[in-house]
Amino acid sequence: MSEEVIKTDGLTKVFNKHLTAVDHVNFSVKHGEIFGFLGPNGAGKTTTINMLITVLKPTEGKASVLGFDIAKQHDDVRSVIGVVPQEYTADEDLTGLENILLCADLYGIPHQVSKERAVDLLKLVELTDFKDKRVETYSGGMRRRLELACGLINRPKVLFLDEPTLGLDVQTRTATWDYIRKLKKEFGMTLFMTTHYLEEADALCDRVAIIDHGKIVVVGTPEELKHSLGGDIITLSIKEDPDVSDLIRSVENVKEVKNENGSYRIKAEYGEVTAPFIIEALRKKGYTVTKLMLTEPTLNEVYLEYTGKSMRDTEESAEAFRSQRMTMRRARA
Amino acid sequence: MSKLNEHRASRFHGIWALTKRELKKWLKEPIILLMAILQPILWMGLFGKAMNIGNMFSSSNINISNVDIPGVALIPPQSGSITVSGAALSQMFSSFGPTLMSNIFGVADYFSYMAIGMISFIVMFTTMFSGMSIVWDRRLGFLNKVLSTPVSRGAIIFSKVLNASLRAMFQATIILILAVIFGLQVSSTFTVVNILGLYAAVFLLSVGLSSVFLAVALRSTRWETQMAIVNLINLPLMFASNTFFPISQMPDWIQAIARVNPISYLTDANRQLTVLPLNMSSLMIDFAFLGVFAIVFSIIGIALSWRYLTK
């Protein structure tokens, strides 16, 4: 088996002839790694995943999963992958166990085998006590775990997770991360996940690709990406009105200054040493620094750097998405 | 073939798994099941007993007064006029009324005529809503999940067709039982084996009709659209058929529609198998039509599902 489990070559999806959701994307995922697809909502993450899991046909370009062409050998691809979709797709009227067995049936797994596996999987996701309860009585976290169990029933070599923790509370999210880490360790599985939670990508992923407007802007390990920013971030505000960007820029080791509505975002090497010099330079000209914050780069900064969007924008749309999901759930009830 | 996957789903495996899911959902909802039983009872009561057509052809409720007939109308003509008593007229009507009824409807009582039509009615209603479930599966993400498994696209559609057909056959059974309880009068050519023929006919129409409605719903994400389509065509389709009234009494243009309306063929086949005397050649025509209808539209449905389920 090749080291590259997933490989794309100019993968493109155009909807309705003019809406380019994914634009000539090239990347590869190595065996046994957790690969994160990070980007704002509408960046093309889900479209990419849907092409890789053979639900959408690419408009242009090629991709392969475990060496199988996603367009020509889709049945082979389908039988070796597991999918944990963004939505809660389990059937509400059926019990947890019935849902898992239904998934098993869809893969053609014989009943004796699927029953054994279901018991193991229910234990893994800690739903054994609820297996005979209808899914409509499950909480969000339980549903997410059930989706995970369904996605694992065919012992996939590659697991695709689309926003695995969207809309979950902090505890459940952390618990889900633990499951994902466990999967990687116990089954040596390759995982491909999308997320717009930066801390999630930072905590879980071996490598991250940032995608925006259907294009991959950067790929690397979280460490590499942070390092690529070349320095720390100093955020400061001054009491006075005039723009002092040029003054700050003249300080040694300062690489970049951005004035964001009176708050200055400064990229500087050796931030802890440079910050006092900046304060000194400002004071000499009669300005008073009211607030100063020094941060080592996180994926947050990387994200901002490459997508040009602050996290708040995407958080808001996530909020909208969640409320939409609530409506759907109500419609289902 | 790859060695990576230990198990391969056969085509039928997927169909059965998905059909089982739908049937389980159905059986788990006692209200839906109860409705499925209550609906035919209500309809039979209303259509069969309230539309008391048989009564129109009997003299029991008409009060005919004495009639004067001019002598010139008589054979041979006579002068003056004679008076015929209402009672005598009433007696005459009661002798040719049932003949008239039987000439128009082919049966002596309207209830038997209608009860079999009711089977077509309920089959039509049950199968027309089969498109709704695929719209919901798409909206709730279940469809995408199934599409990412090795289940064939055709199996996804066919399981829904099968499910709609099984439901329709279940409801047809309830109607039949109710009809017998309420006094269905079978013809002299009826045998128990005919019931199998009836099920076969119901199955064929269900397969055809649900394929049509599933094909319409393949790419739809709005159940409102489905509702609108169903509501637009269900009643016209029912009235332009022999479900409740014989085609022979309709104006030509409606007759033309009724003659290509598959509902008419199901109803005719079922009547011949139960309440009307069996005419082998016309029964064969009915079955041929229903068979072609089912085959053509299920093939179209499955072909479209290959093309359109994956965007």
Q: Is the pLDDT of residue A9 over 90?
A: yes
User: What gap in Å lies between CA A75 and CA A69, rounded to an integer?
Assistant: 10
Length reported for chain A: 333
Give A227's pLDDT tier (boundaries 50, 70, 90). Answer: confident
Residues B144, A103: C-beta atoms closer than 8 Å: no
Give B9's pLDDT tier (boundaries 50, 70, 90). Answer: low
A57 CB neighbours in chain B (<8 A) are: 310-311
Q: Give A74-92 pLDDT, tens digit per residue.
A: 889 998 999 998 888 888 8
Among A164-168, A233-237, B209-213, B246-250, where is mean pLDDT lowest? A164-168
- On average, the pLDDT of chain A sits at 85
Residue A142 to residues A57, A88, A96, A164, Cα–Cα distance (Å): 32, 10, 10, 12
Among A151-160, A209-218, A289-298, B276-285, where is mean pLDDT lowest? A289-298
Neighbour count for residue B178 (Cβ, 10 Å) = 19
Residues B141, A57: C-beta atoms closer than 8 Å: no
Q: Is the pLDDT of residue B63 over 80?
A: no
Q: Which of A94, A106, A332 sits opposite B149 (nearest CB)?
A: A106
User: What gap in Å lies between CA A55 and CA A63, rounded to an integer?
Assistant: 13
> What's the pLDDT score for residue B287?
96
Distance of CA A95 to the CA centre of its chain: 29
For range A263-287, the mean pLDDT: 87
Q: Is the pLDDT of residue B299 over 50?
A: yes
Query: Angle B30-43/B110-128 helices, nearest 10 degrees?
Result: 150
Residues B141, A56: C-beta atoms closer than 8 Å: no
CA angle A5, A9, A14 (to 5 degrees): 120
Residues A89, B141: C-beta atoms closer than 8 Å: yes
Residues A76, B7: C-beta atoms closer than 8 Å: no
Q: Is the pLDDT of residue B5 over 50?
A: no
For range B172-191, the mean pLDDT: 88
With tokens 């049945």, the residue in question is A75
B135 near A331, Cβ under 8 Å? no
Residues A87, B150: C-beta atoms closer than 8 Å: no
Exposure of A82 in the CB half-sphere (CA atoms within 13 A)? 23
Q: Name the nearest CA neighbour of A49 among A10, A100, A86, A9.
A: A86
For range B121-147, the mean pLDDT: 87
Residues B8, A54: C-beta atoms closer than 8 Å: no
Q: Which of A66, A79, A89 sits opposite B142 (nearest CB)?
A: A89
Q: Which of A52, A107, A159, A163 best tests the B interface by mutation, with the highest count of B CBs <10 A? A: A107
Which pTM was predicted?
Answer: 0.78
With tokens 């090795």, the residue in question is B150
Identify residues of B whose CB sits under 8 angstroms from chain A CBs: 2, 4-10, 13-14, 16-18, 20-21, 24-25, 28-29, 139-142, 144-151, 310-311
Among A1-10, A154-163, A198-207, where is mean pLDDT lowest? A1-10
Q: Which of B142, B144, B149 sits opposite A91 (nearest CB)?
A: B142
Q: Is the pLDDT of residue B231 over 50?
A: yes
Å between B237 CA and nearest CA of chain A: 31
Q: Find the residue in A nearest to B27 (Cα).
A: A93
Å between B19 CA and nearest CA of chain A: 10
- How far apart, in Å, do the first and last CA atoms of chain A sit? 46
- On average, the pLDDT of chain B sits at 85
Q: Find the residue in A nearest to B20 (Cα).
A: A102
B141 CB neighbours in chain A (<8 A) are: 85-89
For range A185-207, the mean pLDDT: 88
Residues A108, B8: C-beta atoms closer than 8 Å: yes
Residue B297 to residues A122, A214, B292, Cα–Cα distance (Å): 42, 39, 8
Q: Give A140-173 pLDDT, tens digit per residue.
A: 888 988 999 999 998 899 999 998 888 778 888 8
User: What gap in Å lies between CA B198 and CA B169, rounded to an integer?
Assistant: 10
> What's the pLDDT score for residue B76?
81
Convert A166-205 to b/e letters by CB count within 10 Å (16 or more is b): bbbeeebbebbbebbeebbeeeebbbbbbbbbbebbbbbb
What are the structural domains of chain A? 4-226 (3.40.50.300), 230-296 (3.30.70.100)
Give A10's pLDDT tier (boundaries 50, 70, 90). Answer: very high
Asked if omega into B251 is within 30° of 0 (cis), the reply is no
Q: Find the residue in B nearest to A108 (Cα).
A: B9
Q: Which of B17, B144, B150 sits opposite A102 (nearest CB)?
A: B17
> What's the pLDDT score for residue A321?
57
B206 near B164, Cβ under 8 Å? yes
User: What gap in Å lies between CA A161 and CA A318, rounded to an integer?
Assistant: 17
B144 CB neighbours in chain A (<8 A) are: 50, 55, 85, 87, 89
Q: Quickly list H helices, chain A.
A: 45-52, 74-80, 96-106, 111-124, 140-152, 170-187, 198-204, 222-228, 245-249, 271-284, 299-307, 311-332
Give the β-pairing of A207-212 and A34-38: parallel
Quote helix, strand, coil % in chain B, to nearest 5. Answer: 70, 5, 25
**Residue pairs between chains A and B whose CB atoms are closer than 8 Å:** 102
Q: Which of A55, A76, A109 sits opposite B148 (nearest CB)?
A: A55
Residues A79, B5: C-beta atoms closer than 8 Å: yes
Q: Give B16-30 pLDDT, tens digit per residue.
A: 889 999 888 888 877
> What's the pLDDT score for residue B2?
38
Q: Which helix (H) or strand (E) holds A25?
A: strand A19-30
> What's the pLDDT score for residue A1?
46
Q: Is the pLDDT of residue A315 over 70?
A: no
Q: Could you tell me the residue ranges of all domains in chain B?
A: 12-51+107-308, 56-105
B76 contacts: CB under 8 Å, gap ≥ 6? none
> What's the pLDDT score for residue B56?
72
| Three-state secondary structure of B229-278 | HHHHHHHHHHHCCCCCCCHHHCCHHHHHHHHHCHHHHHHHHHHHHCCCCC
Q: Give B76-124 pLDDT, tens digit per residue.
A: 888 888 888 888 878 777 777 778 888 888 887 888 888 999 899 889 8
B18 CB neighbours in chain A (<8 A) are: 106
For range A278-286, the mean pLDDT: 89
Å between A279 CA and nearest CA of chain B: 55
